[in-house]
């Protein structure tokens, strides 16, 4: 199959490289000539484990090519994927669809025969209808099918998620050609027994938002439960395990922490809230999740000030991890941003270290000193805060850290270290949701 991928951002580049790895012929198109040149030279625009190798191998094999020329890229394609950005529109939180519609228009204008256009970008319900309208208006002469195929890739694990998905959702308006093309596109996944689920197009668009909003709700639920655990003297990790072993609930996404961030959950929950309001079917539970999560990030700053003894002025706080989660350099809506702001507002000086995120983070937190290692960050600090659970932070020499600090205060926002172990190393420990498991 010949597949064209419009947009070489996170989703487009990972999906394009994975499709090529399955043996399809893939052309990735992006307007940004600098980005295309960099990718061709082996420099990825994002940090994603394994991506540079996957792109390199498939490009060398001739299955994966890159271009800035969209009309050339869509020529003869069996399926054309739109994987451009849909940021939150400034002011009202609606998804900004201008890039999607611009791409759709340009694709349709360039077509030389029937085509299947697939929206992979996360788009609100009804976007496929609008893309179809654009297609009919501009090219009434052609049979153009518009399909929704949302992605469920986690940053840091995107290649594995693409190749071994829990499911693939494809929304169509019932066209046999569209269903047949999409079945062939995903046929290589048959071996991995991934369920390929065909639905209506609007349903597929909604499934994406429902999935992300549900996961964000699960996280927010356990985060509020963590606060209650602290208040009543219970332990949230045991609560998570205790409820998660119930198969109806499931153990995933029940880790209490500083609040969710990233490129998807904050944006998608907000967009779903707006859609619900627009259609007079408000999703109140998600409205609350959005508010609670926003407040939580800043509340983590107050938690740190409390651990410092209630006064942060003139003190130095060392942050370990600034990205919104490990194995990415993505800083979008990272809890660290609100935490730094809260600490600086309280008069503290902030030092930070992150294995991959410091280049992206530095301009977003200009007052923060970036350190060369976890040990360098901790040296002389009044508190050490674990913000992101990178593997590199899971087995630190706690004694060495504690003895190098002005005051050995550990605020573990991801509950990585057993309290007893950190205390034995000399730390005073603050966690999220209790004092640690009794077992």
Active site residues: 264
Q: What are phi and psi of 435, to 5 degrees?
A: -105, 15
Choose between 324 and 427: whose C-beta lies nearer to ligand UDX. 324
Nearer to ligand UDX, 66 or 417 (CB): 417
Label each residue of 288-332 as H, E or C: HHHHHHHHHHHHHHHHHHHHCCCCCCCCEEEEECCCCCCCCCCCC
Instruction: Read off the tokens for 53.
Output: 């190798």
Is 257 within any annotated ligand binding site? Answer: yes
Candidate list 12, 262, 357, 434; residue touching ligand UDX; CB under 6 A:
262
Using the contact rule CB under 6 A, the part of the chain among 21-29, 31-39, 249-257, 305-313 near ligand UDX is: 249-257
Q: What is the DSSP letter of 382?
A: S
Q: How far is the CB of 311 from ligand UDX (least distance, A)?
A: 29
Q: Is 218 annotated as a binding residue?
A: no
Find out whether 208 is annotated in a ligand binding site. yes
Instruction: Report how far residue 201's alpha carbon sits from residue 382's, in angstroms, rounded to the nearest whole number.
Output: 54
Nearer to ligand UDX, 145 or 388 (CB): 388
**DSSP per position, 26-87:** EEEE-S-HHHHHHHHTT--SS--TTHHHHHHHHHHTTSEEEES-HHHHHTT-SEEEE----P
Residue carrying structure tokens 């280049």: 359
Least distance in Å: CB of 432 to ligand UDX? 10
**276 assigned binding-site residue:** no
Identify whether the C-beta of residue 289 lies closer than 8 Å to the C-beta of residue 220. Answer: yes
Judged by CB under 6 A, the residue of 63, 255, 267, 297 near ligand UDX is 255
CB 386 within 8 A of CB 414: yes
| Least CB distance to ligand UDX at residue 391 (A) | 14
Q: Which is nearer to ligand UDX, 144 or 254 (CB)?
A: 254
- Nearer to ligand UDX by C-beta: 77 or 292? 292
The residue among 74 and 207 lying less far from ligand UDX, judged by its C-beta, is 207
The bridge status of strand 79-82 relative to strand 64-67 is: unpaired
The smaller minimum CB distance to ligand UDX, of residues 260 and 353, is found at 260
User: Using alpha carbons only, how large is the chain's radius of gyration in Å?
Assistant: 24
Could you tell me which residues come within 8 angstroms of residue 51 by beta carbon, excluding any fewer than 6 positions away?
13, 14, 17, 44, 158, 159
Nearest residue to 76 via CA among 132, 118, 115: 115
Interface stretch with ligand UDX, choices 17-25, 230-238, 247-255, 276-284 (CB under 6 A): 247-255
Which segments of 283-404 are extended strands (E)? 316-320, 349-353, 369-370, 383-386
Residue closer to ligand UDX by CB (options 22, 152) is 152
Q: Smallest distance, Å, CB 46 to ligand UDX?
A: 11
Q: Is 86 annotated as a binding residue?
A: yes
How far is Cα 34 from Cα 167, in angstroms, rounded to an integer? 35
Task: Tell me the number of residues near ligand UDX by CB under 6 A.
Answer: 20
Contact 104, 118 (CB under 8 A): no
CB of 151 vs ligand UDX, minimal distance in Å: 6
Q: Let me know the angle formed at the C-alpha of 66 by 63 and 69, rounded to the nearest 5 degrees.
A: 130
Residue from 253, 364, 404, 423 that binds ligand UDX (CB under 6 A)?
253
187 annotated to bind ligand: no
DSSP 8-class letter at 122: -
263 to 292, contacts with ligand UDX by CB under 6 A?
263-265
Site for ligand UDX, residues 141 to 180, rule: CB under 6 A: 151-155
CB of 414 to ligand UDX, least distance (A): 8
Does 154 show up as a binding residue in the annotation? yes
Cα distance between the two ends of the chain: 55
CA angle 111, 113, 118 (to 5 degrees): 65
Shortest approach of ligand UDX to residue 371 CB, angstroms?
A: 22
Subset of 217-236 contacting ligand UDX (CB under 6 A)? 219
Q: Is 205 assigned a ligand-binding role in the annotation?
A: no
User: Is 47 near ligand UDX (CB under 6 A)?
Assistant: no
How far lies 47's CA from each of 31, 36, 53, in Å?
20, 16, 12
Residue 122 assigned to a binding site: yes
Residues 312-341 that bind ligand UDX (CB under 6 A): 324-325
Q: How far apart are CA 322 and CA 9, in angstroms?
A: 21
CA–CA dist 61, 17 (Å, integer): 12
Given 165, 257, 301, 434, the residue binding ligand UDX (CB under 6 A): 257
Tell me which stretch binds ligand UDX (CB under 6 A): 111-119, 259-267, 369-377, 392-400. Answer: 259-267
| Residues paired with 118 in a beta bridge | 81, 147
Q: Is 319 one of the annotated binding-site residues?
A: no
- Which residues participate in the annotated binding site for substrate? 152-155, 208, 253-257, 261, 325
Kindly list the residues in this chain that would bind ligand UDX in the complex (CB under 6 A).
151-155, 212, 215, 219, 253-255, 257, 260-265, 324-325
Residues making up the annotated binding site for NAD(+) are 30, 35, 86, 122, 155, 267, 332
């Amino acid at each position: 199959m010949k597949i064209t991928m419009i947009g070489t951002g996170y989703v487009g580049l990972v999906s394009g490289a994975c499709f090529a790895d399955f043996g399809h012929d893939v052309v990735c198109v992006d307007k940004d000539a600098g980005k295309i040149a960099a990718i061709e030279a082996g420099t990825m625009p994002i940090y994603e484990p394994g991506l540079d190798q996957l792109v390199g191998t498939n490009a060398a094999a001739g299955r994966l090519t890159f271009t800035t020329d969209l009309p050339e890229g869509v020529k003869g394609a069996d399926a054309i994927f739109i994987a451009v950005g849909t940021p939150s529109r400034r002011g009202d939180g609606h998804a900004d669809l201008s890039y999607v519609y611009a791409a759709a228009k340009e694709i349709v204008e360039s077509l030389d025969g029937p085509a299947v256009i697939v929206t992979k970008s996360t788009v609100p319900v009804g976007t496929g209808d609008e893309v179809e309208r654009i297609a009919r208006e501009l090219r009434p002469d052609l049979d153009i099918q518009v399909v929704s195929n949302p992605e469920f890739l986690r940053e840091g694990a995107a290649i594995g998620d693409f190749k071994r998905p829990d499911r693939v959702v494809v929304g169509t308006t019932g066209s046999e050609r569209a269903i047949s093309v999409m079945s062939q596109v995903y046929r290589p996944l048959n071996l991995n027994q991934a369920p390929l689920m065909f639905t209506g197009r609007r349903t597929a668009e909604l499934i994406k938002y429902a999935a992300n909003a549900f996961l964000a709700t699960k996280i927010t639920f356990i985060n509020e439960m963590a606060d209650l655990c602290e208040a009543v003297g219970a332990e949230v990790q045991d609560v998570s395990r205790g409820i998660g072993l119930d198969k109806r609930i499931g153990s995933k996404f029940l880790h209490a922490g500083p609040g969710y961030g990233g490129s998807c959950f904050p944006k998608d929950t907000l967009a779903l809230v707006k859609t619900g309001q627009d259609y007079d079917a408000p999703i109140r539970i998600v409205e609350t999740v959005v508010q609670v999560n926003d407040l939580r990030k800043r509340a983590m700053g107050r938690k740190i000030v409390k651990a410092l003894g209630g006064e942060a002025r003139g003190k130095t706080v060392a942050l370990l991890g600034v990205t919104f989660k490990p194995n990415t350099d993505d800083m979008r809506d990272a809890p660290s941003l609100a935490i730094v702001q809260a600490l600086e507002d309280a008069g503290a000086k902030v030092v930070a270290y992150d294995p991959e995120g410091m280049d992206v983070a530095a301009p977003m937190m200009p007052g923060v000193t970036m350190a060369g290692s976890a040990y360098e960050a901790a040296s002389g600090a009044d508190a050490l805060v674990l913000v992101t659970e990178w593997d590199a932070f899971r087995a630190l020499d706690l004694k060495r850290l504690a003895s190098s600090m002005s005051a050995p205060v550990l605020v573990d926002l991801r509950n990585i270290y057993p309290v007893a172990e950190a205390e034995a190393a000399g730390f005073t420990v603050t966690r999220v949701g209790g004092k640690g498991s009794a077992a």
